Chain A
Amino acid sequence: MSIVARLPRRTLSLTEEEEAAPPTMELTGRRRMTAEERGTAATIFQEFRADRRHREFVVGCLNCGECTTGCPAARFYDFSPREMLQIAQNGDATTLWDAMQEKIWACCQCYTCNMRCRFGNDIAGIISVMRELSVSHGLESTRRTLAPFGRSLTLLMTVGTQVASDMIQPDFFRDWGPFATGSDKVWQVSAEVMRKAIPSDVLQTTRSSWEVSVQTSLELFRIYEETGVLDMLRGLDPDLTEMLIDIIEERREEFVEARERFQDQLAGQTGPVTTFSG
């Protein structure tokens, strides 16, 4: 007789109390879902299954495990792309909710699992769908996970790049060593002078990856407004969202003022440069 068969029935099933309030696992420990969480989990499950990508990305599973054996995250985390795929394919609202608390954020998005999959599942893609839902529903665990990304998200939303040289501060990136930041401590010049030594004018900024024109950043923000990204972010961090709107409003004013200032030079131009109003 196998070990499992000898175990008392109690350990293999839920009590009536547990069935009424299904347990959920987080890496920090086992706790019960609240009624509100159960409602959110049910809504997320419905949205997940209704997403057209679910039909396209989840094809089937042979249980071969090729995805997990090649997975970098599986080597260091309690994470398995096979488990994620099977939750996507056969899971219920609770198992999906559980996966969305922490495990989905272990994925490196390297797409190694996709390339190894005989079935052609898009496992990295379906994990992204789960992540999107966790953001748009403003899950508390997602807020915690993404808390360090305020500056990065600000750059992304306002100029469309995700890193700036002044983000890579030696004190925050100590593990990168003394040279990795083009550090002024090593070269005895300021960070601004180090950037001036890059032989392209658009790269000579410390505030963004490159200088982004005001028109370009306003067009980008229009995309975020029109495609629901701003609303997603509002669900995650309403204060950050309001700050971004203020920043963009200032850039719009700057743009309108510049249009008057450069009206002679713009007179011979055609296309979006003359028609885009901000």
Chain B
Amino acid sequence: MLSANEIRKVVAERTAHQKGTGKRVVDVREEMERLEERGELVIHRIRPENRPVEASTLFGWTKRIPTDRLWHHKSCGQCGNIPGYPSSLLWLMNETGRSYLNEPHQTSCTAWNYHGTATSNPVALAAVAARNFHRAYETGHFPLIHCGTSFGDYKEMRKLLVENTEVRHKVREVLRKMDRDLVLPEEIVHYSEWVHAMTPEILARQRYPVKGIIATVHEPCHYYKMVPEDAVYDDAIYAGQRPAVPSGILMALGATVADYSTWYDCCGFGFRHILSEREFSRSFANLRKIRPMVEEAHADVAITSDTGCVTTLDKSQWIGKAHGLSYLLPVLADVQFAALALGAHPYKIAQVHWHSSSTEGLLTKMGIDWRTAKEEFQEYLRALKAGATPELLHPAHGEIETFFAVNKGQVLPEASGPAPTSASASAPAAVPAVGGPAK
């Protein structure tokens, strides 16, 4: 496997080699600026009210991570079968006083389907991305991408829309048919980068020490192998040789992040395989990931930061018993682990009961009284069954939003003073039309 330094060298060579063909590795954000000046797109800029924190990417470029006033771009797999993943993130935002929108007016990126069945094409993928980007923009909230594949896909689609005039024009034509236009975010931001940026505030609220916990990290492929230049690296984490997320938050919380030989391998998700060829997914997950994590690193928990990875690594283990692989290593997303360390309810918030490999031994080791929490949850289920109103992390949506993507407060011109602090308090204003960018 190439180290990050080797990759940097390879890309530098590639940059030099391909200069003559015009296919250099470039910072796409610079070209976005030029296209905005020509009226071909609007950049959804990170504004002061987004309270950005700077981080460094693979080539040392600066990436600004917005930490407030965010538009949750949910993950279909997380919401579908590991819902404690998004609920832990929303809970952390509530705890740290960050505002957000979690809307029904979002589609997935549709890239799970594309990578699994290929029943799409780049123009469609780009148009889906652009529709979601525009929706985030018209609400005045910056998109925060929950899924590693959505993050990878949106990085690719942003590059495609910037670099390919034909695709850009076609997508604009499609968007206009729904009265939308091309808006590209200044940064494509993965939620684990938000966690990274919020580390000091998360640590300030830590309730359970996790010093005795050994964690192994699975780095999601689509976070750093697709459009590698957009992934966050930090010289203080693996000496900048591996991505800084999600390892950084685990180290900061006090866990021991242990290495294992197959850290660079994928999880075995395979998109198509996890649904229709699970014998591959479970073999790969057990033999190439879980076994080294347990036997080499003696892990208490596997931590990752993507939908497919949590699903595959967790849910593939139970059947391992049939082949004598009885590891049942708990698998959590970084936000679930962080939320638990801050005192989130293991069942109501972290929703650990959706996980196949029991987390209760880990909870005990963290000092969390899961038995009491479980009794509380069972009582809560009985109450829900009897018709009680569900507890929510954010206000419920009105019936009108079952049908319509109503406005929540628009992006204001650059010089318009302080932005409203909540979506509902802000008066709708016109979205700058493409061709007359907000300056």
Identify the A interface with B (CB < 8 A): 52-53, 56, 70, 72-73, 75-77, 105, 108-112, 114-116, 118-120, 128, 131-132, 134-135, 145-146, 148-149, 152-153, 156, 159-165, 167-168, 173, 175-177, 179-182, 186-190, 193-204, 208-217, 219-220, 222-224, 226-229, 232-233, 236, 254-255, 258-259, 262, 265-266, 268-273, 275-276
Expressed in whole angstroms, the Cα–Cα distance for A149 and B112 within the complex equals 12
B40 surroundings in chain A (CB, below 8 A): none
Task: State whether the Cβ of B76 lies closer than 8 Å to any Cβ in chain A.
Answer: yes
**Interchain CB contact under 8 A, A161 and B355:** no
Expressed in whole angstroms, the Cα–Cα distance for A181 and B315 within the complex equals 10
A118 surroundings in chain B (CB, below 8 A): 10
**Interchain CB contact under 8 A, B81 and A152:** no
CB distance from A218 to the nearest CB of B (A): 8
**Interchain CB contact under 8 A, A70 and B318:** no
**Interchain CB contact under 8 A, B105 and A216:** yes
**Interchain CB contact under 8 A, B284 and A75:** yes
Supposing A105-B272, A187-B378 touch, asked if A161 and B390 sit within 8 A by C-beta, the answer is no
A273 surroundings in chain B (CB, below 8 A): 404-407
Q: Which residue of B lies closest to A228 (CB)?
A: B121
**Interchain CB contact under 8 A, B391 and A161:** no
Within 8 A of A (CB), among B7-48: 7, 10-11, 14, 18, 23
**Interchain CB contact under 8 A, B348 and A197:** yes
Instruction: Return the contact of A219 from the options B1, B79, B131, B170 (Cβ within 8 A).
Output: B131
Expressed in whole angstroms, the Cα–Cα distance for A276 and B135 within the complex equals 13
Q: Which residue of B lies closest to A179 (CB)?
A: B356
B186 surroundings in chain A (CB, below 8 A): none
**Interchain CB contact under 8 A, B104 and A175:** no
Instruction: Return the contact of A176 from the options B90, B123, B270, B315 (Cβ within 8 A).
Output: B315
**Interchain CB contact under 8 A, B118 and A160:** no
A271 surroundings in chain B (CB, below 8 A): 138, 179, 407, 410, 431
Supposing A73-B270, A108-B269, A209-B76 touch, asked if A220 and B377 sit within 8 A by C-beta, the answer is no
Instruction: Return the contact of B354 from the options A108, A182, A209 (Cβ within 8 A).
Output: A182
A165 surroundings in chain B (CB, below 8 A): 80-81
Expressed in whole angstroms, the Cα–Cα distance for A38 and B347 within the complex equals 58
Supposing A176-B315, A189-B385, A202-B102 touch, asked if A220 and B2 sit within 8 A by C-beta, the answer is no
Q: Which residue of A lies closest to B307 (CB)?
A: A163
Q: Which residue of B lies closest to A174 (CB)?
A: B319
Instruction: Return the contact of A200 from the options B122, B392, B428 (Cβ within 8 A).
Output: B392
**Interchain CB contact under 8 A, A149 and B276:** yes
Q: Which of A111, A167, A168, A224 has the most CB of B within 10 A?
A: A111
CB distance from A99 to the nearest CB of B (A): 14
CB distance from B346 to the nearest CB of A (A): 13
Supposing A135-B117, A213-B401 touch, asked if A160 and B315 sit within 8 A by C-beta, the answer is no
Q: Which residue of B lies closest to A160 (CB)?
A: B107
Instruction: Return the contact of B118 from the options A132, A161, A224, A258 (Cβ within 8 A).
Output: A132
Q: Which of B80, B103, B107, B273 has the most CB of A within 10 A?
A: B80
**Interchain CB contact under 8 A, A211 and B402:** yes
A209 surroundings in chain B (CB, below 8 A): 74-80, 108
B258 surroundings in chain A (CB, below 8 A): none
Task: Provide 13 A-B residue pairs closer than 8 Å at the C-beta atoms, listed in order of the A residue.
Answer: A70-B264, A76-B280, A108-B269, A110-B266, A111-B221, A128-B114, A189-B385, A199-B349, A209-B75, A213-B402, A259-B403, A269-B406, A272-B178
**Interchain CB contact under 8 A, A156 and B113:** yes
**Interchain CB contact under 8 A, A265 and B79:** no
Identify the B interface with A (CB < 8 A): 1-2, 7, 10-11, 14, 18, 23, 74-81, 83, 86-87, 90-91, 102-108, 110, 112-124, 127-128, 131, 135, 138, 152, 164, 170, 173-174, 177-180, 221-222, 224-226, 228, 264-266, 268-273, 275-276, 278, 280, 282-284, 288, 314-316, 318-319, 347-349, 351, 353-356, 358, 377-378, 380-382, 384-385, 390-394, 396-397, 400-407, 410, 428, 430-431
Instruction: Return the contact of A202 from the options B225, B381, B397 (Cβ within 8 A).
Output: B397
Beyond A115-B2, A223-B124, A262-B400, list 18 extra A-B contacts (CB 8 Å): A110-B222, A111-B221, A111-B222, A131-B117, A134-B118, A135-B117, A149-B116, A168-B81, A175-B282, A176-B318, A190-B385, A203-B83, A209-B108, A213-B103, A213-B403, A254-B403, A271-B410, A271-B431
Instruction: Return the contact of A149 from the options B10, B117, B280, B410 (Cβ within 8 A).
Output: B117
**Interchain CB contact under 8 A, B377 and A197:** yes
Q: Which residue of A lies closest to B109 (CB)?
A: A160
Expressed in whole angstroms, the Cα–Cα distance for A199 and B358 within the complex equals 21
Supposing A72-B284, A201-B397, A269-B428 touch, asked if A163 and B315 sit within 8 A by C-beta, the answer is no
Q: Which residue of A lies closest to B167 (CB)?
A: A52
B80 surroundings in chain A (CB, below 8 A): 161, 163-165, 167-168, 208-209
Q: Which residue of A lies closest to B390 (CB)?
A: A196
Expressed in whole angstroms, the Cα–Cα distance for A111 and B418 within the complex equals 42
Instruction: Return the contact of B396 from the options A149, A180, A201 (Cβ within 8 A).
Output: A201
Expressed in whole angstroms, the Cα–Cα distance for A194 and B377 within the complex equals 11
